[in-house]
Amino acid sequence: MRAVHFGAGNIGRGFIGAVLQDAGYFVTFADVNKELIAKLRSSNGYSLFELGEAQKETHYENFEVLDSTADEAALIAAIGRADVITASVGTNILPAIAPVISRGIQSRSSDSPLVIMACENAINSTDILWSKILETLERLPKNIFFANTAVDRIVPMQQADGEPDVAAESFCEWVIDKSGLAGTDLKIPAATMVDDLQPFIERKLYTVNTAHLTIAYLGQRHGHDTIAESLRDPTVRDVVARVMEETSMALVTKHDFDSNEHAKYVHRTLLRLANPLLDDQVERVGRQPLRKLSRFERLIGPAALLAELGEEPSALLEVVEASLDFMSQNDPEVALLNSKLGALTPSEFALEVCGISPEHQLAGSLERAIAKHQGALSHK
Q: What is the pLDDT of residues 233-291, one digit of tens each?
A: 999 999 999 999 999 999 999 999 999 999 999 999 999 999 988 878 999 999 999 99
Low-confidence ranges of the chain (pLDDT < 50): none
Q: What is the pLDDT of residues 41-64, one digit of tens each?
A: 999 899 999 998 888 999 999 999
Q: Are 289 and 337 in contact (CB under 8 A)?
A: yes
The pLDDT of residue 376 is 67
Q: Which domains does the chain have, with CATH numbers?
A: 2-194 (3.40.50.720), 198-378 (1.10.1040.10)
Terminal-residue alpha carbon distance, the chain: 60
The pLDDT of residue 88 is 98
Q: What is the pLDDT of residues 348-360, one digit of tens each?
A: 999 999 999 999 9
User: In the chain, at which residue ranges do the beta strands (DSSP E only) sit?
Assistant: 2-6, 26-31, 46-51, 56-60, 63-67, 84-87, 114-118, 144-146, 149-152, 166-169, 173-177, 192-194
Q: Are 194 and 200 in contact (CB under 8 A)?
A: yes
Share of the chain above pLDDT 70, in %: 98
